Chain A
Amino acid sequence: MIDTRRLIAKRKRQDLVFNVLGIICTLIGIVTLVALLLDLAASGLGRIDWQFLSSFPSRKAVNAGVLSAWVGSLLLMLVTITLAVPLGVAAGVYLEEYSRKNWLTTVIEINIANLAGVPSIIYGLMALGLLVYQFHLGQTLLVGGITLAFLVLPIVIVATREALRAIPTGIREAAYALGATRWQVIKDHLLPYSAGGIATGTIIAMSRAIGETAPLVTIGALTFIAFLPDAPVQSQFPFVNFKWLNSPFTVLPIQMFNWVDRPNNPENDFHRNAAAAGLVLILMTLSLNAVAIVIRYRLRKKIKW
């Protein structure tokens, strides 16, 4: 009797120890992140104003701004998502619903898993060699977008496949049993039901892409851009144009890196600018995510589980 009690007490102690250990591990991550954010906010928050957001880079820190950088980041995300989501979803649907399981699809699957782990600078090198040197597409938004789309493609593919796999077999069989073709099952059932999961994958992909610097530096994105790309919309027919795709660009992380790289100088405080640019980047990431979460919520509301 006493032995049992002692045994239980011992096991409860073990439980407590692990509980405390878990809390500490969780806190290490969160506290570090909060500290970093606070540090960034402390040095950068005061610098963010309308002038900072609406000015081009300048040699004087007080005149400099992130206009070309945030517009570049935004447009780059637009290109990346427009390319990566349809490609990734189509590839995921193919692999999950159409492909027969044989050695070729196994090789493809292993490669997709591996591609997600390839360092981003390798994608930059590939884009430099293929898109810039071979196809002479230039160091443009289009090339940057294609590069980042390749980079995040595995994320979208894997998320799509996971979302499709989560749909119960019974639902698939019910649709087929009514005489639906594979495409009808995909279009009317599988895609709508997996849209939430795909949206989550897209959010992760976007968060990854917006912070990327290395591949863009590799393809030769500029660090000093004192103009904006042509506006994608116009007042005359056909109301959209694609000239902006061929425009050189810079993005927030590159601008940030550029400013961090300068010697610290109290009169010309570029480090403060870098911190502010970092905050703008975080804000942009969060607001893009917020948009995606709203879209996901809307999609899920239509599905009546």
Chain B
Amino acid sequence: MVAIPAAIAAPPELKAVIKGLSFFYGDHQALKDIHLGLPDNAITALIGPSGCGKSTLLRCFNRMHDLYPGNRYVGEIVLRPGNLNIISPRVDPMEMRLRVGMVFQKPNPFPKSIFENVAFGLRLKGINNRHVVAERVESALRSAALWDEVKNRLKQSAYALSGGQQQRLCIARALAPEPEMLLFDEPTSALDPAATAHIEDLIYQLKDRLTIVIVTHNMQQAARVSDETVFLYHGEVIEADKTSTIFENPSKELTSEYLTGRFG
């Protein structure tokens, strides 16, 4: 037995590993044989031109595709700890969605009070004790940097908030059940620059607590917030590496063409 040096024995901690993932909308193959590792407590950005499959890939992580008929997954997405293949038909999507939260492109709060919006995910986890719910709602709103703005009007409609506040409320709603992984699907594309900066700061702070995957159309956003960047094109991973490497020294011609705006 040769002793393996510790640095080699322990590869960088991965939160999720994608092995041979393909995805089909009916007959149309939207993702082709994707292999990828997502580092733990880091932000991975998915970039690429419209229709490249980046949102499709993101929505595989919480089985959103299950909501619509005719969708099919092939391969594995292994979530750690527990090595759970989250796209396996044997895995209950309700159960794995408690571990993987999502924030959508357009702010989509429920037409309920601010408090109830955040509390809903807790109630789904069976947390019904009033004090515990109130505590967790407050801490989620604090984590989403929204508490000070809404603490005096928790009973008001979520729709009374501005677009940026609504999106932070959606982040608080996703954070409240304490997921291990959070998916962002172009979270700032419907927001103005100030609100965008606010959300980006927030995402950056959140990586200490969980693993983040963010789809973005905005190259600067990917460069600003992410640790790792994955460039997709026509449903395939063209290049995946450290964000600095992708932006400063991409190894593929296609990547540098996309980043310099020659197509996309």
- A, B in one complex: yes
Q: How far is the CB of A173 from chain B (nearest CB, A)?
A: 6
Is B177 touching A179 in the complex (CB atoms < 8 A)?
yes
Contacts of B121 in A (CB 8 A): 178-179
User: Contacting B94 at CB < 8 Å: which of A170, A174, A180?
Assistant: A180
A303 to B111, CA, bound (A): 6
Q: CB of B158 within 8 A of chain A?
A: yes
Assess A175 versus B110: contact at CB under 8 Å? Given A170-B104, A304-B158, A304-B159: yes
The reply to whether the CB of B112 lies closer than 8 angstroms to some CB of chain A is yes
- Assembled-state Cα–Cα distance A47/B95 (Å): 67
Q: Which of chain A's residues 160-199 have a Cβ closer than 8 Å to chain B?
A: 168, 170-181, 184, 188-189, 193
| Given A177-B64, A184-B124: A100 in contact with B69 (beta carbons within 8 A) | yes
User: How many Å lie between the Cα of A171 and that of B97 in the bound state?
Assistant: 16
**CB within 8 Å of A: which B96-113 residues:** 97-98, 101-102, 104, 106, 108-113
Q: Distance in Å from the Cβ of A296 to the closest Cβ of chain B? A: 15
Among the listed A171, A178, A303, which residue makes an inter-chain contact with B124, where contact means beta carbons less than 8 Å apart? A178
The answer to whether A177 touches B106 (Cβ under 8 A) is no
Question: How extensive is the interface on chain A, given as a class?
Answer: 20 to 34
Residues of the A chain whose Cβ atoms lie less than 8 Å from the Cβ of B62: 177
List residues of chain B with CB within 8 A of the CB of A174. Answer: 104, 108-110, 170, 173
Return the contact of A177 from the options B69, B97, B113, B160 (Cβ within 8 A): B97
Number of A-B contacts (CB under 8 A): 70
User: Which of the four size classes fits the interface of chain B?
Assistant: 20 to 34
Q: Does A50 contact B (CB under 8 A)?
A: no
B157 at the interface (CB under 8 A from A): yes
Complexed CA–CA distance, A168 and B124 (Å): 21
Contacts of B156 in A (CB 8 A): 304
CB closest chain-B residue, reference A184:
B124
B147 beta carbon closer than 8 Å to chain A: no
CB 8 Å contact bits of B113-131 with A (1 = contact, 0 = none): 1000000110011000000
Q: Which residues of B are in contact with A by a Cβ distance under 8 Å?
A: 62, 64, 67, 69, 94-95, 97-98, 101-102, 104, 106, 108-113, 120-121, 124-125, 156-160, 170, 173-174, 177
Name A residues whose Cβ lies closer than 8 Å to a Cβ of B: 100-101, 168, 170-181, 184, 188-189, 193, 303-305
- What are some 15 contacts across the A-B interface (CB < 8 A)? A174-B104, A174-B108, A174-B110, A174-B173, A175-B120, A177-B64, A177-B102, A178-B121, A178-B124, A179-B94, A179-B97, A179-B177, A180-B120, A180-B124, A303-B111
Question: Given A177-B97, A179-B98, 9 more contacts at CB 8 Å?
Answer: A170-B108, A171-B110, A176-B64, A176-B67, A177-B101, A179-B121, A303-B111, A303-B112, A304-B113
